[in-house]
């Protein structure tokens, strides 16, 4: 079934649900209503205010992999006045960049100098598959929290200020497909595209950050998500004087 925002707003009005956008933007499977879970169904965005019910919750949501002990690091630092000042997604990304955590994780080099591009929204036509279902998304809007590029390797970022069990795969697949299409159409001279998902749990003396680097083995199929590596960084610093 394909439905649009007009129908969503109609039912939100009937049930006095304040924010209609929250109905279709479901970031983790734990937020799915019981009826969708019972029918093994999730929602995908088709652009232009349209949405679609798709079978296969395990395809729509990907469980975060366990992190091996040898990939858990204490990362001492002097916390600046703005580090961890708030719990926004942009703050998480600022912390991992300023503290060179992302440089260590992605490039194994804290003095690497990647190009950094801030959050942006963009729209693009995307054609891909979820299992055997062909998805034709027209002018679908996507939010890219951060993009980095080093030596032709592009990484798109998604960040959440909460530890959750899984995440909606389209959140990273849509930006991945956006840059892959630019590469394949010779619009950008990109060598490789990967995705980095960051989740944070804020604590009294710092934060715990978990980082996951993903790719898609088949560029046309959202179900082929593959973990490249993951790591946990425990920030245990004190306030800088």
The answer for residues whose C-beta is within 8 angstroms of residue 52's C-beta and 6 or more apart is 1, 2, 3, 43, 44, 45, 46, 135
Q: Give domain status of residue 153, yes or no.
A: yes
Domain range enclosing 167: 63-239
Q: Is residue 75 part of a domain?
A: yes
Q: Does a structural domain hold residue 145?
A: yes
Domain count across the chain: 1
Q: Is 12 within a domain?
A: no
Structural domain contains residue 48:
no
In whole angstroms, how far apart are CA 32 and each of 35, 168, 175?
A: 8, 11, 23
- Whether 44 is in a domain gets the answer no
* Residues near 76 by beta carbon (within 8 Å), at least 6 away in sequence: 236, 237
| 157 conformational bin, left if phi > 0, alpha if psi -120 to 50, beta if neither | beta
> If we measure between CA atoms, which residue out of 226, 217, 206, 239 comes closest to residue 101?
206
Residues in the chain: 241
> What is the C-alpha separation between 93 and 33, in angstroms, rounded?
30
Per-residue pLDDT of the chain (241 residues; tens, 9 = 90+): 899 999 999 999 999 988 888 889 999 999 999 999 999 999 999 999 999 999 999 999 999 999 999 999 998 877 777 776 676 788 889 889 988 999 999 999 999 999 999 898 999 999 999 998 999 999 999 999 999 999 999 999 999 988 999 999 999 999 999 999 999 988 889 999 999 999 998 777 778 999 999 999 999 999 999 999 999 999 876 544 3
Residue 13 lies in a domain: no
Residue 30 lies in a domain: no
């Amino acid at each position: 079934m394909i439905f649009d925002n007009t129908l969503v707003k109609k039912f939100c009005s009937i049930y006095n649900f304040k924010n209609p956008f929250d109905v279709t933007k479901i970031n983790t499977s734990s937020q799915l209503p019981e009826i969708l879970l019972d029918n093994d169904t999730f929602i995908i965005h088709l652009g232009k205010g349209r949405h679609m019910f798709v079978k296969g919750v395990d395809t729509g949501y990907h469980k975060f992999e366990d992190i091996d002990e040898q990939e858990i690091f204490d990362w001492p630092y002097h916390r600046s006045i703005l580090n961890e000042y708030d719990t926004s997604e942009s703050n998480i990304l600022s912390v991992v960049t300023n503290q060179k955590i992302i440089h260590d994780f992605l490039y194994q080099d804290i003095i690497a100098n990647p190009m950094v591009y801030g959050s942006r929204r963009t729209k693009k036509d995307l054609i891909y598959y979820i299992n055997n279902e062909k998805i034709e998304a027209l002018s679908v809007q996507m939010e890219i929290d951060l993009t980095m590029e080093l030596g032709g390797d592009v990484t798109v970022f998604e960040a959440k200020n909460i530890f959750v069990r899984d995440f909606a795969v389209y959140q990273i697949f849509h930006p991945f497909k956006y840059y892959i299409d630019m590469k394949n159409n010779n619009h950008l001279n990109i060598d490789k595209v990967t995705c980095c998902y960051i989740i944070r749990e804020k604590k009294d003396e710092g934060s715990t950050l978990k980082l996951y680097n993903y790719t898609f083995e088949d560029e046309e199929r959202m179900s082929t998500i593959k973990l490249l590596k993951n790591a946990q960084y425990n920030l245990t610093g004190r306030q800088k004087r």
